[in-house]
Structure 1
Amino acid sequence: MTLIKSISGIRGTIGGRAGDTLNPLDIVKFTSAYATFIRRSTAAGGRQATNTIVVGRDARISGDMVRNVVCGTLMGMGYNVLDIGLATTPTTELAVRMSQADGGIIITASHNPRHWNALKLLNSEGEFLTKDNGNEVLAIAEKEDFEYADVDRLGHYTEDDSFNRRHIEVVLNLRLVDAEAIRKAHFNVVVDSINSVGGIILPQLLDELGVSYTFLNGKADGDFAHNPEPLEKNLGGIMGELAKGGYDLGIVVDPDVDRLAFIQEDGRMFGEEYTLVSVADYVLSHDAGNTVSNLSSTRALRDVTLKHGGSYYAAAVGEVNVTTKMKEVGAVIGGEGNGGVIYPESHYGRDALVGIALFLSSLAQKGCKVSELRRSFPTYFIAKNRIDLTASTDVDAILLKVKDMFGAEPGVTVTDIDGVKLDFADKWVHLRKSNTEPIIRVYSEAATMEEADALGKKLMQVVYDMQ
Structure 2
Amino acid sequence: MTLIKSISGIRGTIGGKVGDGLNPLDTVKFVSAYASFIRNNRKTDSNTIVVGRDARISGKMMEQVVTGTLMGMGFDVVNIGLATTPTTELAVTMEHAAGGIILTASHNPKQWNALKLLNERGEFLNAAEGEEVLSIAESEDFIFAHVDHIGKLSEKDYTDKHIQAVLDLTLVDVEAIKAADFEVAIDCVNSVGGIVIPKLLKALGVNKINELYCTPNGEFPHNPEPLPEHLQDISVMMKTTSSDVGFVVDPDVDRLAIICENGEMFGEEYTLVAVADYVLKHTPGNTVSNLSSSRALRDITRKYGCEYNAAAVGEVNVTTQMKATNAVIGGEGNGGVIYPASHYGRDALVGIALFLSHLAFEKKKVSEIRASYPQYFIAKQKVELTPSINVDAILSTIKEKFSQYDVTDIDGVKIDFPDKWVHLRKSNTEPIIRVYSEAHTMKEAEEIGAEIMDVVKQLAK
Tell whether the structures are fold-level matches, with TM greater than 0.5. yes
* 1:180 match: 175
Q: Is the 8 A contact 1:407 1:413 kept in 2?
A: no
In 1, Cα distance between equivalents of 2:296 and 2:125: 29
| Paired letter, 1:343 | Y
* 1:427 match: 420
CA positional deviation for 1:424: 1.4
Equivalent position SS for 1:414? strand
Equivalent position SS for 1:225? coil
Q: How does 1:325-404 map to 2 (within 5 A)?
A: 325-386=321-382, 393=387, 397-404=390-397
Matched, 1:6 2:39: no
Q: Is the 8 A contact 1:387 1:442 kept in 2?
A: yes
Which residues of structure 2 form unaligned runs of 5+? none
Instruction: Work out the number of aligned pairs and report it.
Output: 459
Q: Is the 8 A contact 1:192 1:217 kept in 2?
A: yes
In 2, Cα distance between equivalents of 1:362 and 1:345: 17
Alignment partner for residue 184 of structure 2, among 186, 189, 193? 189
| Paired letter, 1:64 | K
CA positional deviation for 1:382: 0.9
Matched, 1:200 2:195: yes
Q: What CA deviation, in whole Å up to 9, does each residue of 1:261-320 have, x standing for no partner?
A: 101111111010000001001000011110000001000100110110110000011111
* 1:413 match: 406
Alignment partner for residue 442 of structure 1, among 415, 435, 441? 435
Q: What CA deviation, in whole Å up to 9, does each residue of 1:98-143 have, x standing for no partner?
A: 0011000000001111111100000001011111111111111111
In 1, Cα distance between equivalents of 2:6 and 2:63: 20
Equivalent position SS for 1:110? coil
Equivalent position SS for 1:443? strand
Distance 1:410 1:80, change over 3 A: closer
Distance 1:343 1:394, change over 3 A: farther
Matched, 1:140 2:136: yes
Alignment partner for residue 295 of structure 1, among 291, 295, 299? 291
Which range moved further: 254-263 or 423-432?
423-432
Equivalent position SS for 1:384? strand
Q: What CA deviation, in whole Å up to 9, does each residue of 1:313-339 have, x standing for no partner?
A: 000111110111000000000000100
In 2, Cα distance between equivalents of 1:19 and 1:460: 35
Q: How does 1:14-29 map to 2 (within 5 A)?
A: 14-29=14-29
Matched, 1:76 2:69: no
* 1:255 match: 251
Q: Is the 8 A contact 2:35 2:73 kept in 1?
A: yes
Q: Is the 8 A contact 1:431 1:440 kept in 2?
A: yes
* 1:102 match: 98
* 2:227 match: 231
In 1, Cα distance between equivalents of 2:66 and 2:433: 30
Equivalent position SS for 2:178? helix
In 1, Cα distance between equivalents of 2:345 and 2:432: 25
Q: Is the 8 A contact 1:238 1:250 kept in 2?
A: yes
| Paired letter, 1:189 | V
Equivalent position SS for 1:302? helix
CA positional deviation for 1:393: 2.6
CA positional deviation for 1:181: 0.3
* 1:31 match: 31
Q: Is the 8 A contact 1:59 1:222 kept in 2?
A: yes
TM-score by length of 1: 0.95
Q: Is the 8 A contact 2:246 2:259 kept in 1?
A: yes
Q: Is the 8 A contact 1:407 1:414 kept in 2?
A: no
| Paired letter, 2:424 | L
CA positional deviation for 1:432: 2.1
* 1:285 match: 281
Distance 1:408 1:386, change over 3 A: closer
Q: What CA deviation, in whole Å up to 9, does each residue of 1:142-193 have, x standing for no partner?
A: 11122111111111111112x1000000000000000000001011111010
Equivalent position SS for 1:269? coil
Q: Is the 8 A contact 1:4 1:437 kept in 2?
A: no
Alignment partner for residue 110 of structure 2, among 102, 107, 114? 114
| Paired letter, 1:409 | F
Instruction: Report percent identity of matched pairs.
Output: 64
In 2, Cα distance between equivalents of 1:71 and 1:131: 25
Distance 1:51 1:172, change over 3 A: same
Q: Is the 8 A contact 1:326 1:334 kept in 2?
A: yes
In 1, Cα distance between equivalents of 2:193 and 2:117: 21
| Paired letter, 1:8 | S
Q: Is the 8 A contact 2:83 2:159 kept in 1?
A: yes
Q: What CA deviation, in whole Å up to 9, does each residue of 1:16-46 have, x standing for no partner?
A: 121121111111111000000001111xx4x
CA positional deviation for 1:402: 3.4
Alignment partner for residue 93 of structure 1, among 86, 89, 92? 89
Distance 1:404 1:433, change over 3 A: closer
CA positional deviation for 1:411: 3.9
In 1, Cα distance between equivalents of 2:78 and 2:383: 40
CA positional deviation for 1:405: 3.1
Alignment partner for residue 169 of structure 1, among 139, 164, 167? 164
* 1:214 match: 210
In 2, Cα distance between equivalents of 1:217 and 1:401: 45
In 2, Cα distance between equivalents of 1:244 and 1:338: 27
CA positional deviation for 1:461: 4.9
In 2, Cα distance between equivalents of 1:434 and 1:445: 20
In 1, Cα distance between equivalents of 2:235 and 2:275: 21
Q: Is the 8 A contact 2:245 2:261 kept in 1?
A: yes
Q: Is the 8 A contact 1:411 1:424 kept in 2?
A: no
Q: Is the 8 A contact 1:245 1:266 kept in 2?
A: no
Q: Is the 8 A contact 2:116 2:124 kept in 1?
A: yes
In 1, Cα distance between equivalents of 2:60 and 2:127: 29
TM-score by length of 2: 0.96
Q: Is the 8 A contact 2:391 2:426 kept in 1?
A: no
In 2, Cα distance between equivalents of 1:231 and 1:148: 43
Distance 1:117 1:394, change over 3 A: farther
Q: RMSD value over aligned CA atoms?
A: 1.8
